Structure 1
Amino acid sequence: MENRMTALEDRFDTILPTLATKADVKALELKLAESSAQLELKLAESSAQLELKLAESSAQQQNSLNKLEIKLLDIIHQEIKAVCQKIDSNNWRMIVWMTSVVMTGFAGVFYIARYVPLA
């Protein structure tokens, strides 16, 4: 029986130092809660900083896009103006050409009606 008790005591001597007490568990829970709170605080600060940087970057990008849009609109307006001028100059040519064709046609009809015998 003594041998069995000695064997059990040896086992408990090796097991007991590794077992945690309620106080140890409570201390670990407190440390875990503190580190969790610190982590949440750091995460909130980092999140706020990132949101601020993102807002600044977004504002800069929007400003850049607005400037680019204005430049592109100016270029488009210049191109449209150039095309309109070309169309206007071609319109006058077209009007002159059509007027001369109509006058030549009337002259031909008048000549045929006046000077060509009817057979």
Structure 2
Amino acid sequence: MNTDEIRLISPLDLRPTEEISLGRVREVIAMIVARQAWTQPICLERTTLAILDGHHRHAAAIQLGLRRVPVRVFAYEAVELASWRAEIHPTRDEVLRRARAGELYPPKTTRHSFEQSNFRIDSLQVLI
């Protein structure tokens, strides 16, 4: 899949890889509601739909009852993987295994780097 392509899919189909901070989810919900816009797609691994970036946006979408969320899908080998935590050294295979098993890393463990996109949905109606 072209990484510039944005798709809309159910947030219930996505596989988290990290735990979240409920306080941060509340902040994200407040931003989405205040802007009435979605400004950053959730980034996924293409074969498992594992979340690479956007765990708090994902949780916010579920709490808001959104039926669809914008996502960008990446081939994992094209994504840079690092760790925010000195004591944890995740590998791509381990991230995907844990996503499939529902074994979440602590919040802000994995750091995925990829090209950013110019994206914005100015009406949440398209996601409801």
| TM-score normalized by the length of structure 1 | 0.16
Higher fraction of strand = 2
| TM-score normalized by the length of structure 2 | 0.15
Query: Which structure: larger Rg?
Result: 1
Higher fraction of helix = 1
